[in-house]
Structure 1
C-alpha cells in the first residue's frame, strides 16, 4: 500500500491530483491511499501526530508558510518520505534539492507526465522498502538502510541501532519483534537476547564474544559458541565467501 499526501492551497489543484491518482490507481491496479491538505500547518499537525506518507506532493507557494519552509520542517520529522514540489515556475528548482526533494513538477500537470512520475517514484519507494526498515526514532520517522545497520541492542524498551557511519538511532520496541521482521533477510543473527547483529559486519568470532568491524564487542552466552559459529559459517558458504 502506497500512501500519498497532497498539500496545495488551490482546491482545483487538489481535485485534479485526486482525479489523476484515482485514474492511475485503477489503470495500473495499484493499492494507493491519499489525503489532501490546504495548508502546510494542517499537514505538519498530522505528521506530528504520527501520520506517515511514502510520497508528498507539496506546492511551493502557499500563503502563511511556503512549501519549501514546510519541507524543512517535514525533514525534521520524516527523513524517508519522497517530496515532490508543485509549482508554475522553475525558480525554486535548485533550492528544492537542498531539502532532499525527489522531483520538481511544473504546473499544469499533464496525465502522461504524471503517470511517468508515479511509475518512477513508486518504483523507488519499493526499492527502498525492500532493503530498509521505517522506525519512529527520537529524530522523527526514519528509514533505516539495513545494509548499513551493523547491529541492534535493546535496553529495556529502547532499541539502539548502530549504523556503519557511526550514527546511533533510538526507537521504542521489542527485540523479539525486530528479529522476526528481519528474519527474512538472512544476514541477521541473534547471538544474545539483547543483541541482533548483521553478519556482514563481523570482524572476529571467539568463544567469548563477537567483535564487529566497528570494534564493538558482543558477548556470547556460555555454550552458544558452536551454534553461532556454525550459523555464521553456513552464511558465508551460502554467500560463496572463502573460508580458510
Structure 2
C-alpha cells in the first residue's frame, strides 16, 4: 500500500496530537509530514512539502482554515483538504473551497478511516496520468434518480450538465428535464467519462458536447453557453480554466 503524506493543522495542540495518533492508527501507511498550530505556518509548509492530504481545522486565529484551503486551491498539485471542525454548519463552506470531506469533533476512528479511504480512492484516480480511472472499467454509464415513488434510470449520454445548489445536486438532461440526485458532484466527477464530462466550476459539471459557445468574461474568465431551449450560461471557475483548455483549443 502506497504511503500517504499527511499534514495536520489545528490551533489546539492537544487536538492536533490526538488527530496525529488517530490517523496513524487508522492507516499504517501514513507519513506525517508536519503538525502545525496556525494557518500561516501551515500554508508555507504545504506549499514547500506538498503533502497528499491536509487535515485542517477551520476556526483558527489569523489565517483560518478556509482561507488556507482557498490559497492552496490556486496552486498546482493542490493537496486534498479534509476539514476538521467542531460545528457541522461549516460543512457547506468547506465544500465551497473544494474540500474532499470534513469531520466533526469529537473525532472518532471510523470517521478517520472513512476519510482516508476516500482520499486513497481519489489519489488512485489522479494517478492515471491525466486519463483518470473514469476511462477504465470503473466508469459508470447509468445513474438512478428519484421520480416520485420510483427510481428513474438516466444514461450518462443524455446528461447536459449537473449542478449543486443549496446542498442538493441536480442532473439536467438534453431534453431539459431536471432530476434530484443523492450523489455529490465529486461522486459524479469520479464516475463519469473524463473525455466527455468536465468539472468547470465547484458547482457545475458539463457535457462538453453540449457546449455551444464560450463567452469571454471579465478578468480572463469564461462563460459556457450550453444547448437547450433556454439560454444556459455556466461560469468557468478560475482554477478550472487550464483544465478547460485540455478540452477546447482557445
Q: Please, what TM-score do these two structures have when normalized by structure 2?
A: 0.50
- Distance, in Å, in 2 between the alignment partners of 1:77 and 1:98 is 16
Structure 1 residues 164 and 96, CA gap change in structure 2 (3 angstroms) = closer
Structure 2: gaps spanning 5 or more residues: 132-193, 196-240
Q: Aligned partners of 1:115, 1:166: CA distance in 2, in Å? A: 36
For residue 11 of structure 1, the aligned residue among 10, 13, 22 is: 13
Q: Distance in 1 between matches of 2:4 and 2:35?
A: 15
Q: Secondary structure of the equivalent of 1:12?
A: helix
TM-score (norm 1): 0.51
Partner of 2:147: none
Query: Highest CA radius of gyration, 1 or 2?
Result: 1
Question: Which residue of structure 1 aligns with residue 118 of structure 2?
Answer: 120
Residue 72 of structure 1 is matched in structure 2 by 70
Give yes or no for contact 1:47–1:77 (8 Å, CA) kept in 2. no
Query: Distance between the aligned counterparts of 2:45 and 2:23, measured in 1?
Result: 21
Corresponding residue pairs, total:
141
Q: Which residue does the alignment assign to 2:219?
A: none
SS of the residue 1:77 aligns to: coil
CA distance in 2, matches of 1:91, 1:122: 26
Partner Cα separation in structure 2 for residue 77 and residue 165 of structure 1: 16
2:38 aligned residue: 39
| Contact 1:83–1:102 (Cα < 8 Å) also in 2 | yes
Inter-CA distance 132–16: structure 2 relative to 1 (3 Å threshold): farther
The corresponding residue for 1:84 is: 82
Residue 214 of structure 1 deviates from its aligned partner by 4.8
Say what the alpha-carbon RMSD is for the aligned residues. 2.7
User: Structure 1 166/78 Cα, relative in aligned 2: closer, same or farther at 3 Å?
Assistant: closer
Identify the residue that residue 25 of structure 1 maps to in structure 2. 27
> 3-state DSSP class of the match of 1:130?
coil
User: Are the aligned partners of 2:20 and 2:32 in contact in 1 as well (CA < 8 Å)?
Assistant: no
Q: Which residue of 2 aligns with 1:107?
A: 105
CA distance in 2, matches of 1:75, 1:16: 27
Q: Contact conserved, 2:24 with 2:30, CA < 8 A, in 1?
A: no
Whole-angstrom distance in 2 between the partners of 1:119 and 1:101? 15
Residues 25 and 32, structure 1, Cα contact 8 Å, conserved in 2: no
Q: 1:91 to 1:132 in 2, by over 3 A?
A: same
Whole-angstrom distance in 1 between the partners of 2:19 and 2:245: 41
